[in-house]
Amino acid sequence: MLVQAQYAIIAALVATALSTAAYMAAVVRGYRALAARPAARQRIGAVVGGAGQLDDPEEEPAPARRAGSLSAVTLARQASTMAWVALGCLTVSLVLRAIVTGHGPFVTQHEFAVSMAWGFLAVYLFFEWRYRARTLALLVLPITLAMELYALSWATTADPLVPALQNSLLLTTHIIVAIFAYGAFAVSFAAAGLYLVHDWVPEGFARVLPKREVLDRLGYRAVVIGYPLLTAVIVLGAVWAQIAWGSYWSWDPKETASLVTWLIYGGYLHARVARGWVGRGAAWLLVVAFASVILTFVGNAFFGGLHSYGVTR
């Protein structure tokens, strides 16, 4: 079954790449449609720009399409379908590994990476469904693709549980909560990144993207979801550390990185709620915060510490 799990990851990688390409093509087609007919903006938006910014169109205006070409709407819908296929393939891979190993995906760096990719996709697809925020895929999916490639760079063997991981129910809960927290933070990063992209692209292209205020709200909503989950991750990790190592906190590199990440997102929420801080500075802080998330994830592979199990290639 481990071979089939590997094939499922490769299938997810292909589906993610196809979805990314289709989303990018949809945005380009939307831009061309707007350039050809500016009034079409009121019909193109939700599928291309998304986030509830505009109405969901039935089809692109005929003058905006070239004969034989796919519309932005069709491309966006196909991209969504491929993203769901990628999520399904990653789910199959994780389930097959769990059947073989008898435990959740928390022993090896390969399993961590696959779980992270799953979380990125799952939370993004929730936001796509809830807020029609398809354009977030322009940044979420490349990150997911990189995480899948990272997973494939590690050994896929099924390692036995080390003594510190014997409390599998508590640790599985700890990891599952972390997966959704990191997924929410990936969405907040995508919203912040697209907010900043507005400053670097031509005005016509920026019209295809969600408005800045929409992206600002999406980034905030994602952090509101992710921050309580990260808090639970730290609390569950401390309980597990007490059981496994006899200490709630050891200033392990990964523990320290998690605390730094928690403080950055806490600072963002405080500034947002108490001071009404929005705009470019808030977007940059979300970018820095997600960089801290990535450092927290990969830190055990480079800095060692108590969390350095399962990092052999």
* Residue 108 within a domain: yes
**Of 34-43, 88-97, 141-150, 184-193, which range is least confident?**
34-43
pLDDT digits (tens, 9 = 90+) for 257-286: 899 999 999 999 999 988 888 889 999 999
* Residue 107 within a domain: yes
DSSP code at position 62: G
Cβ-based neighbour number of residue 127 at 10 Å: 26
Percent above pLDDT 90 for the chain: 47
Beta strands in the chain (DSSP E): none
Closest CA to 279 of 185, 209, 191, 204: 191
Counting Cβ atoms within 10 Å, is residue 7 exposed (0-12), middle (13-18) or buried (19+)? middle
Cβ-based neighbour number of residue 249 at 10 Å: 14
Token pair belonging to 187 = 């969405």
H helices, E strands: number in the chain: 10, 0
Percent above pLDDT 70 for the chain: 80
- pLDDT for 307 equals 54
* Residue 155 within a domain: yes
Rounded distance between C-alpha atoms, residue 232 and residue 176, angstroms: 11
Average pLDDT value for residue range 208-233: 94
* Residue 240 within a domain: yes
Q: How far lies 103's CA from each of 150, 175, 310, in Å?
A: 22, 12, 14
* Residue 313 within a domain: no
- pLDDT for 159 equals 66
Average pLDDT value for residue range 150-167: 73
Q: Residue 170: phi, psi to the nearest 5?
A: -65, -45
* Residue 309 within a domain: no
Rounded distance between C-alpha atoms, residue 2 and residue 47, angstroms: 38
Question: What angle is formed at CA 179 by the lines to CA 197 and CA 157, rounded to 5 degrees?
Answer: 115
Token pair belonging to 214 = 């929409």
Closest CA to 240 of 294, 165, 305, 143: 165
Q: Given pLDDT bands bounded at 50, 70 and 90, which one contains residue 49?
A: low
- pLDDT for 251 equals 77
Residue type, 93: S
pLDDT digits (tens, 9 = 90+) for 62-104: 444 443 356 778 888 999 999 999 999 999 999 998 888 877 7
3-state SS assignment for residue 36: helix
Q: How many domains would you assign to the chain? A: 1
**Of 55-64, 65-74, 124-133, which range is least confident?**
55-64
Residue range(s) defining the domain that contains residue 206: 2-303
Question: Which residue stretches of 137-167 are H helix?
Answer: 137-152
Token pair belonging to 163 = 């003594």
Rounded distance between C-alpha atoms, residue 200 and residue 198, angstroms: 6
pTM of the model: 0.86
* Residue 77 within a domain: yes
* Residue 189 within a domain: yes
